[in-house]
A and B are shown apart, each in its own frame.
Chain A
Amino acid sequence: MPSLGADMEAGTVSQWLVKVGDEVHRGDVVAVVETEKSTIEVEIFESGTIAEILVPPGKRVPVGAVLAHVTSGAGHAANTVPSVSTATPAVPRAPVVTAAHAATVDAAISPPAPVARRSTVHSPVLRHLAQELGVDLVTLTGSGPGGAVTRADVEKAAGRGGDGTRRRGRATGKPKSVPPAELQPVTRVSSSPLARRKAADLGIDLSAVRGTGPHGSVIERDVQLAAAPALPEKAGPGTTVADDRAAAMRRAIGALMARSKREIPHYYLSTTIDLAAAAAWLEQANIERPVTARLVLPVLLLKATALAVGHVPEMNGFMIDDVFHPSEAVHVGVAVSLRTGGVIAPAIHDTGGLSLDELMTALKDLVGRARAGVLRSSEMSDPTITVTNLGDLGVEAVFGVIYPPQVALVGFGRVTEQPWAHDGMLGIRPCVTATLSADHRVSDGHRGARFLTEINRLLQEPEKL
């Protein structure tokens, strides 16, 4: 379960878009996950073949839990594969789907997950034996020291099921606690007639259901349990499924912002930017454009912010364990307010590298999907700096709270007509107040001022954006 934003503790898999045996490529959307804030399309970070799906739809698991295994074709161990997107290699991020070498047992669990580790190393002898007996080591739970798979485990698995122990996608259950003996082939499932009928009705694979009837046979109740969406395993205060999403979102935002205010020594700067040049340029640009291709001012503000970061890299990156990791890439998170309440700040990837037209398209797409509640995992985990634009709500300035682990947030208020001295003349010009909230552990007011000044400078030459 990837961390889709620092305020996320758990997520519910609502849908798998791949099945066991499917070939996947890095960046493919493989699953849909529900969080308090949104529905996220989870992208895979590794190419390979889906070997096993561990978390069934409807099940809520903590960040870091393994969702599925991927067998990679490549000959190198893939447990520590880099994450989904190109950016921010220094950031420890929960792997979305762990990849396992054909003959190793996967174990990649990211730090916050309280899930047991399984051994990843098998001796050549063991691998040879497993191959000979047709046993897939990926499906085995070891009984040796540290959970290592032993010769006895392999032989036992071979004796119990032969082919039945081959990778078989289990539609349900808790894989970590399922001993290999339960991986029985379909033909050997003992079940009641009622259970079989029920399973057929509900489209449940009986071989995937854990039986609690006589001699482990599957009875109707087991089928029903398998069909029902799993409840949260740790139902702490306020994490019941019945919870209103808006309330859950408010809590998530509250927790993250409290953490930000607790941990980040914010400093704030503000400057008023003359937008006459930008507004005139925009008006001219839009006259020549059909309605569908018009630009909005926030696109210029986003681009200017992204480019200014290049001059003041201390604004762009992540603070992790008191160490600042600057990011090469600039993925500006855009705070989007949801009309149903709450705010979400997904990233526009490589904001500075996009033309204004591309950025406009990306922004429209992102805002639309954020409001519809369909975002991608990389958009949630990648923002390196955030921009919030409260101009449409009519306030002149916003002093934002930094999204951890980011280190800066730029706010733009409403564009207002101001009396403004320019070239020795007093005139009325459109102006906007730009603010910066930044992390004192990384930068100080001098650098912050340089950053805002750079944004101002860039906006005076909109044709170059």
Chain B
Amino acid sequence: MTSEEARQLIRSVLHQVAPEADMDDVGEGETLQEALDLDSIDFLNFVIGLNEETGLEIPERDYPQLSTVGGCVTYLTSTR
């Protein structure tokens, strides 16, 4: 997966989880949960969405790596 594909994927999954949230407002290093006002269930749904799209079984201990857009991109591009 290229980083552009990863970015697209993150955008579409975030849109499903929080349709009101706009990813364009989130800086690369900003915490998604804070920037988009996601609660723990939203975040779990985000992880579920990534899992469904990529087939990756993302363990809970990896959650911190997914806290920012940049972190997500790195995670998705390096584990694939």
Chain A residues with CB under 8 Å of chain B are: 283, 286-287, 290-292, 294, 296-298, 337, 339-340, 363-364, 367-368, 389, 391-394
Contact among B21, B41, B57, B59 with A367 in the assembled complex (CB-CB below 8 Å)? B41
- B65 at the A interface (CB under 8 A): no
- A298-B43 Cα distance, complex, nearest whole Å: 13
Contact A290 B57 (CB under 8 A): yes
- A283-B34 Cα distance, complex, nearest whole Å: 23
Interface centre among B20, B37, B38, B39 (most CB of A within 10 A): B39
Contact A291 B57 (CB under 8 A): yes
B40 (CB) vs chain A CBs: closest residue: A296
- A283-B60 Cα distance, complex, nearest whole Å: 8
Contact B18 A287 (CB under 8 A): no
- B44 at the A interface (CB under 8 A): yes
B51 (CB) vs chain A CBs: closest residue: A291
- A190-B48 Cα distance, complex, nearest whole Å: 61
Total cross-chain contacts (CB, 8 A): 44
B50-64 CB contact bits vs A (8 Å, 1 = yes)? 010000011110000
Contact among B40, B48, B57 with A392 in the assembled complex (CB-CB below 8 Å)? B40
Least distance between B17 CB and chain A CB atoms (Å): 10
The prevalent SS among residues of A at the interface is helix
Q: Given A283-B60, A287-B60, A291-B48, are A392 and B38 neighbors across the interface (CB < 8 Å)? A: yes
What residues of A have a CB within 8 angstroms of the CB of B33 in the complex? Answer: 392
Contact B40 A297 (CB under 8 A): yes
Contact B60 A364 (CB under 8 A): no
Contact among A294, A340, A392 with B39 in the assembled complex (CB-CB below 8 Å)? A392
What residues of A have a CB within 8 angstroms of the CB of B69 in the complex? Answer: none
Contact A364 B37 (CB under 8 A): no
Least distance between B33 CB and chain A CB atoms (Å): 7
A282 (CB) vs chain B CBs: closest residue: B60
- A292-B44 Cα distance, complex, nearest whole Å: 8
- B47 at the A interface (CB under 8 A): yes
Contact A296 B41 (CB under 8 A): yes
Least distance between A463 CB and chain B CB atoms (Å): 18
15 contacts between A and B (CB under 8 A): A287-B60, A291-B44, A291-B57, A291-B58, A292-B48, A292-B51, A296-B40, A297-B40, A298-B40, A298-B41, A339-B21, A391-B40, A392-B38, A392-B39, A393-B37
- B45 at the A interface (CB under 8 A): yes
A293 (CB) vs chain B CBs: closest residue: B48
Least distance between B12 CB and chain A CB atoms (Å): 17
What residues of B have a CB within 8 angstroms of the CB of A340 in the complex? Answer: 20
What residues of A have a CB within 8 angstroms of the CB of B20 in the complex? Answer: 339-340
Contact B44 A296 (CB under 8 A): yes
Least distance between A190 CB and chain B CB atoms (Å): 50
What residues of B have a CB within 8 angstroms of the CB of A296 in the complex? Answer: 40-41, 44
Contact B59 A287 (CB under 8 A): yes
- A363-B40 Cα distance, complex, nearest whole Å: 11
A366 (CB) vs chain B CBs: closest residue: B41
Least distance between B23 CB and chain A CB atoms (Å): 14
- A364-B21 Cα distance, complex, nearest whole Å: 18
What residues of A have a CB within 8 angstroms of the CB of B38 in the complex? Answer: 392
